[in-house]
Amino acid sequence: MKNFDYIKPSNLADAISALKEYENAFLFAGGTDLLVGMKNNFLKPQYIIDLKGISNIKSFEYQEGWHFGALTTIRDIEVSETLQQKMPFLCQAASSLGSIQIRNRATIGGNLCNASPAADIATMFLAMDSQIKIISIDNEKVVGLDKFFTGPNSTILNRGEVLTEIIVPKDAEQFKGVYIKFGPRKGMDIGIVNIAVLLDADFESGLCKRIRIALGAVAPTPIRARQAEGLLSGNALGPDSINKAAELASSETDPISDFRASAGYRKELVKTLVVRGINTILASNRNS
Amino acid sequence: MVKKHQIRTTVNGEEYDLLVDPKKTLLQLLRENLDLTGTKEGCDEGECGACSVILDGKVVNSCLVLAVEADNAEVTTIEGIHRGEDLHPIQKSFVDSGAVQCGFCTPGMILTTKAMLDEIPDPSEEDIKHYLEGNLCRCTGYSKIIDAVNLAIKHSK
């Protein structure tokens, strides 16, 4: 690891001005990606700005939608009884990330800003139609998470900008959902394909009112399968329509081949997982 | 010139005032400055759990925590959980179950188990596997480790 200076501001304004003042400064949230990158000399910051001294971005609250401070840990989401009641699918995605040791430290803001195409929480937040708040020294803006990622480990964030909040619209609670991380082992792995499905349906008749499908590890960023969503929204959910949507979702992906799986395998897997995701939600809600 | 930081940290109930380099990890601080070598360095990138310690009540990989972050924090390592002359009940359970082979993963396993039982006193088998998934053992194959955890749960009742 290269030498660096450590700065720990106690409020956001100081963090933003430090980021502006020092070139080659990195924001430090949970550190579970940052420190690994620094140890491998893949990242060589001269300054790291620890955000953990800023108390008002560490928790979440409901206020016309859910507002999650960027430094909320993955573990805080996983174990929140309120969230388990309102949006259990979000807790499920949180629970599938890393290990307890990682979840105790890793933050949702860090997960988004690291911009891994396979990020668990990012994929779920994308399905939830989340927005993010970005603050800089003279500006504050809210943008859709679907506009945030620009490629592997890259986002729209410019130097001097800080992601401070993730906003989940209040209607997310109306959905039933599931997160599936597909891989050979449950813990401490990155999914071969990740999928988040949120479904708002009349479970008696099988009518799909709205559906959202987000996919991870099948494109340079987490993506939404918009065409598949469009095919099912407002229509009956039957084996034929679900299979067609699965085919369509697969065609919307652009995976790579790596040591985990080939691109072709990932494309096939998307078909299976779209069907599995929808059927899992149907099976667990038909009788409720 | 990199600025060192003065920190005050409590490790196993003892307070320390230390001057630390920003790039020193908590793991290095424990092993090199405090001679607490029970905490092991395995992968040094958060994959294996051998360096698990309890930081302000939460189990973390000490290789992914900077020493400077331990300022005003409480750290518990494997050296800090014994009860007087006696081993901690979780340590005894690991011994009695034969859950230790080479022993390298054991301190991390025990601290993660302690964090779990402090949080979930009566975990299911599923809970145990989920909680311990970040602690890798390359010798025993886990079944004896799970036996040890179950024995510790039995002893704690």
**The pLDDT of residue A287:** 65
Residues of chain B contacting residue A40, judged by C-beta atoms under 8 Å apart: 45
User: Given this model, what pLDDT does residue A87 score?
Assistant: 97
Residues B117 and B121: their CA atoms lie apart, in Å, by 5
Taking CB atoms and an 8 Å cutoff, what residues of chain B touch A80?
none
Calculate mean pLDDT across residues A8-21: 95
Q: Where are the domains of chain A?
A: 5-53, 55-171, 174-285
Most A-contacting residue of B3, B23, B51, B56 (CB-CB within 10 A), to test interface = B23
Task: Judge whether B157 is closer than 8 Å to chain A, CB to CB.
Answer: no
Report pLDDT for A260: 93
Asked if the C-beta of B43 comes within 8 angstroms of chain A's C-beta atoms, the answer is no
Residues of chain A with Cβ-Cβ distance to B29 below 8 Å are none
Least confident residue range of A47-51, A246-250, B81-85, B119-123: B81-85
- What class is the A5-53 domain? alpha beta
User: With 90 as the cut, is the pLDDT of residue A49 above it?
Assistant: yes
Of A31, A52, A100, the CB nearest to B134: A100
| pLDDT for res A286 | 81
Size of interface A-B (CB pairs under 8 A): 86
Is B65 an interface residue toward A (CB < 8 Å)?
A: yes
Q: What is the pLDDT of residues A104-129, one digit of tens each?
A: 999 999 999 999 999 999 999 999 99
**Residue A76 pLDDT > 70, yes or no?**
yes
- What is the total residue count of chain B? 157
B100-135 residues labelled b (16+ CB within 10 A) or e (exposed)? beeebbbbbbbbbbbbbbeeeeebeeeebebbbbbb
Question: Residues of B with CB below 8 A from A39's CB?
Answer: 44-45
Q: Is the pLDDT assigned to residue A288 strictly greater than 80?
A: no
Q: What average pLDDT values come out for chain B (157 residues) when binned by 10 residues?
A: 93 98 98 98 97 98 98 98 93 96 97 97 95 93 95 91
| Residue B157: predicted pLDDT | 79
Instruction: List, by residue range, all CATH 3.10.20.30 domains of chain B.
Output: 5-80
Cβ-based burial of A242 (10 A; exposed 0-12, middle 13-18, buried ≥19)? buried
Smallest Cβ distance to B52: which of A4, A50, A101?
Answer: A101
Across the interface, whether the CB atoms of A187 and B134 are under 8 A apart is answered: yes
pLDDT at B84: 87
Contact: A35, B58; criterion CB under 8 Å: no
**Residues A167-203: tens digit of each pLDDT:** 999 999 999 999 999 998 877 788 999 999 999 999 9
Comparing CA positions, the residue from A167, A164, A147 lying closest to residue A155 is A147
Which B positions 70-109 lie with beta carbon below 8 A of chain A?
Answer: none
Nearest CA-CA distance, residue A200 and chain B, Å = 30
Confirm or reject CATH 3.30.530.20 for domain A55-171, answering yes or no: no
- Asked if the Cβ–Cβ distance from B65 to A31 is below 8 Å, we say yes
CATH code matching the domain that covers B89-156, chosen among 1.20.120.1200, 1.25.40.10, 1.10.150.120, 2.30.30.20: 1.10.150.120
Contact A35 B64 (CB under 8 A): yes
For chain A, give the percent of residues with pLDDT over 70. 99
Whether B61 contacts chain A with CB within 8 A: yes
Q: Does B64 touch chain A (CB under 8 A)?
A: yes
- B113 to chain A: closest CA residue: A100
To the nearest whole Å, the CA of A66 is away from the closest chain B CA by 25
The answer to whether the CB of A217 falls within 8 A of the CB of A191 is: yes
Q: Which helix (H) or strand (E) holds A225?
A: none
Tell me how far apart the alpha carbons of residues B11 and B30 are, in angstroms, rounded to a whole number.
Answer: 9
Answer yes or no: is pLDDT of A80 > 70: yes
Q: For chain A, list residues whose CB is within 8 angstroms of any CB belonging to chain B.
A: 1-6, 8, 31-32, 35-36, 38-40, 48, 50, 52, 75, 95, 98-102, 104-105, 186-188
List every span in chain B annotated with CATH 1.10.150.120: 89-156
User: For the segment A135-172, what is each residue's pLDDT rounded down to a tens digit?
Assistant: 999 999 999 999 999 999 999 999 999 999 999 999 99
B112 touches chain A (CB under 8 A): yes
Mean of the per-residue pLDDT values of chain A: 96
User: What per-residue string of b and e applies to A6-23 under the rule 16 or more CB within 10 Å gives b?
Assistant: bbbbeeeeebbebbeebe
Paired tokens of A43: 């990242």
CB contact under 8 A, B115 and A100: yes
CATH architecture of A174-285: 2-Layer Sandwich (3.30)
Q: Give residue A91's pLDDT.
A: 98
B26 touching A, CB under 8 A?
no
Q: What pLDDT sits at residue B141?
A: 82
Residue B135 has what pLDDT?
A: 97
Nearest CA in chain B to A101: B60
Task: Give the CATH number of domain B5-80.
Answer: 3.10.20.30
* Min Cα separation B22/chain A (Å): 6
Strands (E), A53-206: 60-62, 66-69, 131-136, 139-144, 149-151, 154-155, 162-168, 176-182, 193-202
Interchain pair A5, B3: CB under 8 A = yes
> What is the pLDDT, as a whole number, of residue A184?
86
